[in-house]
Structure 1
């Protein structure tokens, strides 16, 4: 009943597809397999990249601001030096002292005003020695403001025992350090630094929580205390050694870091710069994924074009009769373009469902050593919409050459065969 409302081109295109059922099924299956590969690879790469980035940024901000390094300048010869006289100087790099970012409160406020920035968290960090009885370990102390830092690094989710709350007398330590020292939540540790005399002596802190950052080295060295506690321990009254920044778009972190350096004059290192090899690997994955999608799409296009070329040969007599009845070349072209678009659309719908189903089953079956999923499953609607659009466009382009050939058929020659 509904066919009476269809345009002429749709009626002819659907009839051609129905008459060549076997060819139609084969090409739809071929398109579906190609689209399934594209959906599977795209969602897999997206999930793996998000997992990599989440692991890298699980213990650091997107951008870190650091105080400028100390440099030495050699003494130059005076203006009254005699001709031919040469400078003889040995310049040694100075020892980098622990120092604060100059006027860090004003810098932090300036950065927070940027629309790309979400959080700015101050930190006072340095080296220390933790003592428990006759045992001692070298550690790094990070003084933080929990309300801000926990928005940069989700440390509370990594607590295995105790709590992430920090008062002036609390400390958070890693699981490896707790095992080495034989301590647990509620035990006390004595911390000392190289400038403990200037900082007011050693500090005794109570273990408030034990965390697991997923890295053995970090769990052995990293500790967290309140910002004021670290400032007192490290001899940095009111100062901070770094500012951790998170931005809205993690991939734009390097551009934001350059803007921050230009606006404030403070050195800003993004996670992209400090993890250049990882970012290069992610870019290489994206390139390989795009190459796979291109060649799969190309094979699908050739498949559709070859089938429609065969249809033109098979239906040449019918095309000739239609042309003799007054059908225009444009209508003939639209018939074959519709066939290409419908084949690609049907195959992309089936392929999208197939790719999503296979990826979901694979995601449920593949696990890491600790039983957690290997990657985060990401099936965004935009992925399927883009696949449907690109596949349909590919089908139309693939049908263009056969459609033009069909439209140019001479009616008399086509009817005579």
Structure 2
């Protein structure tokens, strides 16, 4: 096999084979380091994917709302301000002006995938002696359920939203002592009143949402909130979820609405993600430095042990460049071999962790994300680290004087 390899590869592999104990230890060190990097990176990717999935399936990616009402001071005929103190007005429930035209414009945008007008407001749910304050969301299920995956959180009944139907949170149903097919009396501050039948109970995994959130048909909410033909919000999904903030700013600049993106409304989530990414980067850095110093230390020892061999090679006509390449090849081989074993070890540990460590209800802690790019990047990084770590020992080996080395 060696006759088909370049001289540098043949010599490098021979040196590694002769010092097999050192080779085994350094490959083991690289393996553990790469396994830690692969495991941490894949676990972080899974956690982020889980967070984003939960966020994006429980709220719109962009929500368009009416602009806030602003109080303006009264001016007299001569331009004198009549009111010295201007108080911020109470924000009433308002429909978006010309919302049909705005929704049509949103559907025409290539970066917007789903458009769902909704009517939202507060109400009081009463059943017998029990009453609870609730938040009503009136919508068209055909569009809205493509944005907020309410059926995915259904724990009882069905996601049917007719004229006299209502979907309620699990905590609200418990507080009202209600179940599927029970009726509740819904009353709003604007005088709207409706007796609705519970057709489904949902559990969002959030107590606050389960206590307040309810879903009714769009026309039912319009009637209850005295907004016939109106829409208080327009919910959107976009093709690129990470461009939602820029798209929201662009929409707010051209349309008479306020636009909130899921990125701006989940700032704490992104702060936590950035903190995790920073921690993962630091772990990778320190593990990489440990691997580099380990490879460098072994190759320095190898240079000292192989001084006579290097001197003989130099006396036989091997150039300094060839000696340099021999040790660079050794570093690259150590890094690549360790990365291959480490990637397999890290992936295996992740599969075992994902299979045996579960939440209380038996569901997965996080989705299993094993991307080929992660293994390719780990192999390239470990190989490059090995080559760079071998640079100093290689330069030292190439500078050895053959006469002094043979006499050594």
Task: Indicate which of 296, 300, 303 corresponds to 2:294.
Answer: 303
Give the length in aligned residue pairs: 408
Deviates more, 1:54-63 or 1:23-32: 54-63
CA deviation vs aligned residue, 1:80-108 (integer Å, no higher than 9, x gap): 76xxxx98612211111111112222222
Alignment partner, residue 386 of structure 2: 395
CA deviation vs aligned residue, 1:350-387 (integer Å, no higher than 9, x gap): 11111112222222232223232222221111111111
Alignment pair present for 1:358 and 2:358: no
What SS does structure 2 have at the residue aligned with 1:59?
Answer: coil
Alignment partner, residue 309 of structure 2: 318
Task: Indicate which of 164, 169, 179 corresponds to 2:164.
Answer: 169
Unaligned runs of 5+ in 1: none
Contact 2:65 2:234 in 1 (8 A): yes
Q: Give the Cα–Cα distance (whole angstroms) in 1 for the partners of residues 108 and 295 of structure 2.
A: 54
Alignment partner, residue 184 of structure 2: 189
If the length of structure 1 is used for normalisation, what is the TM-score?
0.93
Q: Give the Cα–Cα distance (whole angstroms) in 2 for the partners of residues 311 and 350 of structure 1.
A: 23
Give the 3 Å change call, closer, same or farther, for CA 171–80 of structure 1 in structure 2. closer
Alignment pair present for 1:152 and 2:152: no
- 1:330 CA displacement: 1.9
- 1:265 CA displacement: 4.1
Matches within 5 A, 1:60-79: 60-75=59-74
Q: Give the Cα–Cα distance (whole angstroms) in 2 for the partners of residues 256 and 399 of structure 1.
A: 49
Unaligned runs of 5+ in 2: none
Contact 2:73 2:82 in 1 (8 A): no
Alignment partner, residue 318 of structure 2: 327
- 1:392 CA displacement: 0.8
Q: Give the Cα–Cα distance (whole angstroms) in 1 for the partners of residues 345 and 42 of structure 2.
A: 13
What's the Cα RMSD here?
1.9
What SS does structure 2 have at the residue aligned with 1:204?
Answer: strand
Deviates more, 1:246-255 or 1:57-66: 246-255
Q: Give the Cα–Cα distance (whole angstroms) in 1 for the partners of residues 93 and 147 of structure 2.
A: 23
Q: Give the Cα–Cα distance (whole angstroms) in 2 for the partners of residues 342 and 77 of structure 1.
A: 85
CA deviation vs aligned residue, 1:126-150 (integer Å, no higher than 9, x gap): 1112222343222111011111111
Deviates more, 1:332-341 or 1:405-414: 405-414
Alignment pair present for 1:123 and 2:123: no
Give the 3 Å change call, closer, same or farther, for CA 407–263 of structure 1 in structure 2. farther
Contact 2:96 2:231 in 1 (8 A): yes
- 1:261 CA displacement: 1.7
CA deviation vs aligned residue, 1:209-255 (integer Å, no higher than 9, x gap): 11111122211211101112111221112211112222334333222
